[in-house]
Structure 1
Amino acid sequence: MCIIGLDRINLVLDVDGLVIDTSKLEESKEFREGNGLFIRDTAYDNAHRGIAHLKIGIDTDSSGQGAVTVITNDNPNKQAYESLQVLANVVCPRFFYQTNERNIYEADKLKQLDTLIPSKLEEKGIYVQSAAISKLEVNTNTDDIMIFPTMKLVAESQAKDGEKVFIVQTKNGIESIKVNKTSKEIKVYNKSKHIKDMGGKPEYENLIRFEISTSSKAQLETLLGKERRISGIFENWNKIQRWYRRMFKKEIIDSIIRFSSDTEQKIVNLLCGEVKPPDIVSAMYQNDIYLDYDIVRAAIKRYYAIQGKKRYYDTFKRIETRAKMSPSYQEKIGNIGRLYSFYASIL
């Protein structure tokens, strides 16, 4: 389950000699707004600051064959566009599965993308010479329901780092977190619910996805080679996996370490002030401090060391006994350890 895999890629298709057969496009009008391909007239865009001509979307038919569907305005059946840029958002797992609930990591599947994507484009009437990857989206997944509470910890730690965090939350808790950084995006969300919301039937009931993407040209060239070709995914997959693990540690784990240390210091400061250990949880709520009982325990241990006392655990045990009376207790302990364990299990 915790296997690094590929999901979406964005492509800039070579427009040299591009031919679009709109008679074929007319046969494929099913599309999903904003989640596929579109063709951009760069000359029109530069002159008028707008996008003209054709719009393309993800294939949503029941075949599950994957990627490309197009909706078009009135154009001749065949027309060559010299000033167009074709931008593609391709959901790679759809070439092999009904949805992108699963990612793809198998060598044979990654290798097939180099022929499957151009072939699918041709089926839809789009003939191109080559394509360069402009965005790469990689993820890992888990159906461990105890990972759900860690989403709040991730959100809090990212916000503490000064990032702008976009959160979708319901009465059942946080459902998705998105952090947009320069040429990079981190997203943690309930993939099962996302599939249900789109009218699908997920294979797993509670699937959490940790998604990291990059649109940095320099980073993509490092990962895929100078040309950023589709074949570079298969050829450099080990390098992509190492990059994902490195980004997971840097952007998620290291952020949580900093946040936990900062939160622990805030608690110690309260204890060194006028707050007594038995009242620390109430004081944390009053001061809007994130509550995690692992951090509370570490803070009380530090406070007792400062005071020259040894039996901190008895004090924490009394706090914990009272906390266990709350139905939300399990969501407020063990989250740091769970994320460390999840990171260690990523293959």
Structure 2
Amino acid sequence: MPEHAKKKFDRKEMRLWTVASKSIMSRLEIVMFFSNLQKELCECKSFLDQQYTNLVGDNKTMSLLRDEHFDVGISEVIAPCGFGIFELINIPNMIGASAVGVVDSMNEFVEVPVMPSFMPSLPEATPLDEKFRLMMDRPDREGVVLISFGTYAPTVQMPNIIRSAILEAVSTFQNYTFIWKIDEDDKVPEMANLFTHRWIPQASLLRHPNLRCFISHAGLNSVLELTRNGKPAILIPLFADQHRNAKLVERRGLAIVLYAETFTKAKFIESVHSLLQDDKYRQRAERLSSLMNRKPFKLKERLLSAVEFSAMHGKIEELDVYSYHMGAIQYFCLDVIFAALSLVAISFYAVAYCTSRFLKHILNGKNKID
């Protein structure tokens, strides 16, 4: 990536805290940011030429890959360049993987069209080092609250109302330890029960039995880790898939979702109090964790089975979605629309005809009387 493009992609340039909102218009700025960045990358001919030379134009590497005679290729669906490479090196079977839910832009690749008529593995936790273990196991505290807003939302740009609400919560719940992941250049007032770090072993902390609450931005990894480890959460989604992720967890009853544009200290303090004092959130979180961790077919087993199945059978026409083969009339529901419009037209005609006959009958009756 060109240096000037890297600079524009800097997380501090994205200003995620200032554009976080449920409103479509308020998200326009971040959408335009990514749109302009993509446009700039596409216009960098030298950059694209270099990538082409390094990947496709490297005949030696491509020849070595062809000679391996791979049975299956696996690539990320959201950026499907890998499948073009698979085609060039003659891999007959391909598997698409996605770190997020399947979005509309992926539907064409997986041959699941967007129908106009309806809407259709995580790293293992490692043992904590001595420093974090002592924080988590303090006998004079009732538990631990973990605060982390991911990589792309700098804490130095956090709105003052959210920052002050967090500090007030730390001050209010002094019988709990708070661990907060902040930026290197951020400064937070020192408090007896608050520990700030530039990096945290998030998966391991969420796995610890003394962790009582997780305050996060609802990034996909964070949501999967908190549900897998059975921890209740307060989620403040900022952009992209985070709003959807937050709502999915809230629907299961193990999280409270707050939005930046309606955020207040009172709501935040009340939410922290609810998660720490009301056992229903913990119980629901533990139940969902049990369902995820004890499901009959493990993720690794499913992946291996899928790869073996694909290598053995190739493209499976029996699993094709029928709607992919629909004609224009069926796909756009033109037959249904025509039938509906015909029914409406017939109804209007019938009403108009009956009204006309009725009025004519009345007028003829008056003429006879005259």
- TM range, normalised to the smaller chain? under 0.3
**Structure index of larger Rg:** 2
Give TM-score scaled by structure 1 length: 0.24
Q: By percentage of residues, which structure has more strand?
A: 1
More helix by share: 2
TM-score, structure 2 length as denominator?
0.23
